[in-house]
Amino acid sequence: MVERRRIDPRRYVGAGGSSLSTTTALASGVYYASQTINRCESARKAVTATIYNTPDAPTASSPQTFCSASNPTVASLSANGTDIKWYNVASGGSALSTTSALTIATYYATQTTNGCESARKAVAVTLNAPPTAPTGLTSNVTTICAGTSTAMTLTASGGSDGSGAVYQWGIGTMVGSNAASTTTANTYEVSTDAATTYWVRRIGATACTDATSGTTTTIAAVASSTIILTSANNSQTVTINTAITAIQYTFANVYTLGFSGFPQGVTPSVSSLTSGTCNLSGTPIVTGIFTYTITATNNTGCSVTATGTITVIPAPITYTGCTTPTLTLTGVGFTSAATYSVNGLILSSPVTVTSCTKTDYSGGSSGAFNADCRSNSDTLYGHLFSWCMVVQYAAQLCPSPWRVPTTGDFCKIANGSESNCDNTVSQHIGINGWLTGNFCTYDGTLGGGVSGFYWSSLENEYNLDNGYIAFVTDHLNPKTHRIKSNGFALRCVRDAQ
């Protein structure tokens, strides 16, 4: 006899109740299982069920860059999570081996927790190529003059930049020491005044940051001429037509000497062209500020310069007037373009002023051409003047062709000639119309007598406080000098017609 058995497993949530449909979603908790054989259901077996959540996709930076020279693999990729797996497709496919070589592509990472695998995180991969070393370094200037700063352009050549490499430049024979700058271009601007060796190499971009080897070039320097001031007076001021204090330079290693900027009248004198001395001397004959230059050049074309300044000022002029003058300057400094004005008189030199003032004599007028101690309407002796007024207003007092007499004119009137006219002469003048005259002293006192007192246009060369006065009368010297502020008569003369 064959026995037929039917097993019918059933599942329940708890005691009693109905069995669960196979499509019922599970939740964490206790479930009960039974089996039924030949329509006989067994006791129930408790089963605990735990449901885990699917994890989030791992975190990872993107893009991720690698140097191709390091042969990166999947193991080189980086992501944060648990049990990371990498794929080369967005869905499906098989996880990649960690030894799989990377290419420039997009990779996808997942993480797995409690047997649950997350969604995939996309990561772009970039591979940078490393640079290779430059093979040449040249300069547009290969030789400079020692001591003279010279600009030049260095140019690197050869090798390759890889993926965005830069050039690193430095000074010295050891590549990598004394780095000075980096550039993206293969040229570099420098300046030097001495023999110098420069180097260049490449430094790669991200992930390929190692520096390459490099190459060098050396700039040669040639010794320049030397020129040294030995007299310590290369800046001086002199008056026109006055010799300068000699200026001396010594020099060596000179092929040619050049000179410029000296005032006219000053010249250089060279003892020997190759090496020796250069002396500057002479007498300037023009005014101005002169900055001179001496250029010493050797046989390789290297030059040095020496400079100095010679300021030439005009000779001073002494101006004597009857009023304290106002000095008006036009121009800058003691230059040839400067002019000077004293009471409207234009001069071309600096002015030394000796002033005398009109004396306001009793009864006179200080503002007129005369300064009388008698009435201005005096008809016997005429007006009396200070010497300063006679000189300052000669053109008004004695209109051309008349003039204020010189001492020589008085001598000619007295003796017929200008000779034998000194303080020992005593002659009878006897000139009609040249009457004996009164005079005013410096304190305003009226004087008089048998003599006539008349101003000469000449000034006492021994004492500038005094002016010459000629006495034209009996038994008196034809010339002497008196204080300029005294008042004496003026008689105009002219040459015979």
Q: Per-residue pLDDT tens, the chain, 497 aa: give them.
A: 334 444 456 555 556 778 888 888 888 888 888 898 988 888 889 899 888 899 999 999 999 999 999 999 999 999 999 999 999 999 999 999 999 999 999 999 999 999 999 999 999 999 999 999 999 999 999 999 888 899 999 999 999 999 989 999 999 999 999 999 999 999 999 999 999 999 999 999 889 999 999 999 999 988 888 888 888 789 999 988 999 999 999 988 888 889 999 999 999 999 877 778 999 999 999 888 999 999 988 888 888 899 999 999 877 655 444 444 444 444 334 344 444 444 444 444 444 444 433 333 333 333 333 333 333 334 444 566 777 777 777 777 777 888 888 877 776 766 666 655 554 433 434 343 344 444 544 444 445 555 566 778 877 766 665 656 655 544 445 567 777 767 777 777 777 76
Residue 282 covered by a domain: yes
Residues 251 and 282 in one domain: yes
Q: Of 252, 279, 311, which marks where a domain is finished?
A: 311
Residue 377 covered by a domain: no
Query: In the beta sheet, which residues pair with residue 65?
Result: 126
In percent, the amount of the chain with pLDDT more than 90 equals 42
Residue 364 covered by a domain: no
Tokens representing residue 347 in the block? 């001069």
Domain containing 182 — which CATH number?
A: 2.60.40.10
Q: Of 311, 343, 371, which marks where a domain is finished?
A: 311
- The residue assigned the tokens 């023009």 is 286
Residues 464 and 394 in one domain: yes
Residues 474 and 459 in one domain: yes
Residues 256 and 170 in one domain: no
Residue 376 covered by a domain: no
Residues 283 and 341 in one domain: no
Q: Of 187, 222, 257, which marks where a domain is finished?
A: 222
Residues 483 and 435 in one domain: yes
Query: In the beta sheet, which residues pair with residue 86?
Result: 109
Interatomic CA distance for residues 491 and 411, integer angstroms: 14
Residue 425 covered by a domain: yes
Residues 204 and 237 in one domain: no
The structural domain count of the chain equals 6
Residues 481 and 391 in one domain: yes
Residue 169 covered by a domain: yes
Residues 332 and 427 in one domain: no
Q: Please, how many CA atoms are within 13 Å of residue 289, restricted to the half-sphere of its CB?
A: 7
Residues 202 and 250 in one domain: no
268 preceded by a cis bond (ω within 30 of 0): no
Integer Rg of the chain from CA: 58
Distances (CA, A) of 257 to 68, 106, 149, 271, 451: 63, 75, 21, 12, 74
The CA-based dihedral angle spanning residues 232, 237, 243, 245, taken in that order and rounded to the nearest 10 degrees: -10
Interatomic CA distance for residues 318 and 355, integer angstroms: 10
* Backbone φ, ψ for residue 408 (5° rounding): -65, -35
Residues 218 and 245 in one domain: no
Residues 93 and 154 in one domain: no
Structural domain harbouring 291:
226-311
Residue 202 covered by a domain: yes
Residue 360 covered by a domain: no
